[in-house]
Chains A and B, each alone.
Chain A
Amino acid sequence: MIADLWNSMNDSLERVGDMSRFLLRILAQVPRSLARPQLIVDQVFNTGALSLVIIMLSGLFVGMVLGLQGFELLRRFGSEEALGTAAAIGLVKELGPVVTALLFAGRAGTALASEIGLMRATDQLAAMEMMAVDPVGRVVAPRFIGGVIAMPLLAAIFSLIGIYGAQLVGVQMMHVDSGSFWSQMQASVNLRDVYEGVVKSGVFGVACSLIAVYEGYHAEPTAEGVGAATTRTVVTSAVTVLFLDYLITAFFLK
């Protein structure tokens, strides 16, 4: 049993190392794929613009729930006016980046992994290598860059819609004063909080995109292999995002 544990630990360590080397390989190809911006634009469309609807809907509902729960909680202390602050800080620093990253892994990460995995299974990647085209530069790097660009923007849109969702519930339905909702928010949200959210979503974007393209690229070239790669993408992304979230939060703590 201890041997099993040791083996699985070795395996995951090996995967982390392999993934880091894959990241370096992608980064080495970044300048070359920047020279073909159309490929990147297509990927920003695929990962970003197509995820917009799910991100906006989720942001709206998360914000509305925050509005309700925050109102219930703050009413016990007689400070409903702090609702704007609570919702904005919760969304900008925590919920925006994390929920967006989880949705991103589910919506865009799986698409990336299965797409690249299927290319592997149907020997398209091998064919590129035959034509002396590096598949990392032609297929992987643009998808990675597209994900890294899209993620922080998606998180910002999520937070924005979420704040308006909280405002919808708090101000329109629960009759918190609209002026204090916004002014208390502006008085107590720092630029540093927004910055923390942007850094988080940027790091999550790198992590989720890397995991998705890595799993797809290294998928077993079978139908099951592609399925397993897709599953691993979601699981690994979720755990990694939550772990990184703790690290970054601790790092930003004064």
Chain B
Amino acid sequence: MRKSRAMNLGTGLFLLLGFAALFFLTTQTTSHGLAFRSAPSYEVTAKFGNIGDLKVGAPVSMAGVNVGRVAGISFDPRDFKAVVALRIDDKYNQIPTDSDASIYTQGLLGGQYIGLGPGGAQTFLKNHDQIVFTQSALVLENLIGQFLANFNKNSSQPAAGAAAGGKPK
């Protein structure tokens, strides 16, 4: 009988450990864990011309500190812009209304995140406000296109200059 009790205890411990591990995997390794302890927060929106690879759940940071998360992404069919809902912690409720939001990339393989730059206004962002000043994500293809266009312009001018400078000799 004693052995049976020890076995039951061991089995119970094993089950407890197993379910604790499952719970940990579902809450701590995924972003869903945040839903459990949803800190009081408020939501503001920002419109971007292009959000690139931004995903729901991406961090919103200010001076490199995580102040919130992207809560939703939708498309506004009237002005053809992406509407990004930012859920910001209530702790950070003193963000000036004229702050700007830009989309940056973390590292080479990292995802994209939103960086907020503080403005100078005396009024602060409230629930359902909109951030007006935004900067879209840098799309690598556009960047390369611009670079090539500039490169062509620049390389044709010095060539002409060199030819002009070469004449007097």
Q: Is the CB of B17 within 8 A of A79?
A: no
Bits for A125-136, please: 1 = Cβ < 8 Å to B, else 0.
000000000000
A5 at the interface (CB under 8 A from B): no
Report the separation of the CA atoms of residues A38 and B7 in the bound assembly, to the nearest whole angstrom: 10
Q: Is the CB of A189 within 8 A of B30?
A: yes
A168 at the interface (CB under 8 A from B): no
- A159 and B25 contact, Cβ closer than 8 Å, known pairs A78-B108, A191-B32: yes
Taking residues whose C-beta sits less than 8 angstroms from the other chain, chain A's interface range is 35 or more
- A160 and B24 contact, Cβ closer than 8 Å, known pairs A153-B14, A187-B58, A187-B111: yes
Q: Is the CB of A163 within 8 A of B15?
A: no
Taking residues whose C-beta sits less than 8 angstroms from the other chain, chain B's interface range is 20 to 34
From A38, A52, A160, name the one whose CB has the most chain B CB atoms within 10 angstroms. Answer: A160
Q: Is the CB of A79 within 8 A of B108?
A: yes
Least CB distance, A153 to chain B, in whole angstroms: 2
B8 at the interface (CB under 8 A from A): yes
Q: Is the CB of B18 within 8 A of A45?
A: no
Q: Is the CB of B107 within 8 A of A79?
A: yes
Nearest residue (CB) in A for B31 is A186
On chain B, the residues within 8 Å of A42 by CB distance are 4, 7, 11
In the complex, which of the residues B29, B59, B109 contacts A92, with contact meaning CB atoms closer than 8 Å?
B29
Nearest residue (CB) in B for A184 is B110
* Chain B stretch 13-29: residues in CB contact (< 8 A) with chain A: 13-15, 17-19, 21-22, 24-26, 28-29
* Chain B stretch 25-43: residues in CB contact (< 8 A) with chain A: 25-26, 28-33
In the complex, which of the residues A49, A82, A153, A189 contacts B21, with contact meaning CB atoms closer than 8 Å?
A153
Report the separation of the CA atoms of residues A140 and B2 in the bound assembly, to the nearest whole angstrom: 25
A10 at the interface (CB under 8 A from B): no
Q: Is the CB of A77 within 8 A of B29?
A: no
- A194 and B111 contact, Cβ closer than 8 Å, known pairs A45-B14, A156-B18, A186-B30: no
Nearest residue (CB) in B for A197 is B25
- A92 and B22 contact, Cβ closer than 8 Å, known pairs A41-B8, A52-B14, A191-B30: no
Report the separation of the CA atoms of residues A149 and B7 in the bound assembly, to the nearest whole angstrom: 16
B10 at the interface (CB under 8 A from A): yes
- A79 and B110 contact, Cβ closer than 8 Å, known pairs A153-B21, A186-B29: yes
Interface residues of chain A, those whose CB is within 8 Å of chain B, are: 38, 41-42, 44-45, 48-49, 52, 74, 77-79, 81-82, 88, 92, 149-150, 152-154, 156-157, 159-160, 163, 182-191, 193-194, 197-198
Interface residues of chain B, those whose CB is within 8 Å of chain A, are: 4, 7-8, 10-11, 13-15, 17-19, 21-22, 24-26, 28-33, 57-59, 66, 106-111
Q: Which 3 A-B pairs have the closest CB atoms?
A: A153-B18, A49-B14, A156-B21
Beyond the given pairs A38-B4, A42-B11, A188-B111, 8 more chain A to chain B contacts, judged by CB atoms under 8 angstroms and listed by A's residue number, are: A41-B8, A48-B11, A48-B15, A49-B14, A78-B107, A152-B18, A156-B22, A156-B25
List, sorted by A's number, 5 A–B pairs whose CB atoms are closer than 8 Å: A45-B7, A79-B109, A79-B110, A153-B14, A190-B30
